[in-house]
Amino acid sequence: MDFKCNHDGSCDKVKLCCIETEMLLSREDIERIKKLGYSETDFVEEYLGFFQLKNIDGHCVFYDPETTLCKIYNERPQGCRFYPIIYDLDNEQCIVDNYCPSASTVSKEDIETVCPRLRQFVKRLMLQKI
């Protein structure tokens, strides 16, 4: 299930998830984005042995602050597609990131649907650690 961002201007936290992002990337994410014409050095940085989206001027490299839209929305990383459902490594469970303005719209069923794929994604990231 892909969650859509609120683009109607009613959100006072517009794209908070894209500001100072810590979004981890899988090798599949990197290869998919490279096919759009980006070089890995354009958007990837290392963080604690993982690949992570690069921040430019305090926001995700693909975030356009003028339009408040993602430049690669249709090809965005898998973690962005799961968001606002995130994986809490400490407690080994899927939770909703309450910083997301749409967090209250995520149902228990949404979490149950997404969580198995999110767990699998996190497991793959751990195996791909640099």
pLDDT of residue 8: 45
pLDDT tens per residue across all 130 residues of the chain: 555 555 444 455 556 788 888 899 999 999 999 999 999 999 999 999 999 999 999 999 999 888 888 999 999 999 999 999 999 999 999 999 988 878 888 899 999 999 999 999 999 999 987 6
Q: So where are the chain's domains?
A: 16-127
Note the pTM of the prediction, 2 decimals.
0.85
Instruction: Quickly list H helices, 17-98.
Output: 27-34, 40-43, 78-82
CA gap 21, 62 in Å, rounded: 11
Q: Quick one: CA torsion of 129, 97, 85, 81, rounded to 10 degrees?
A: -70
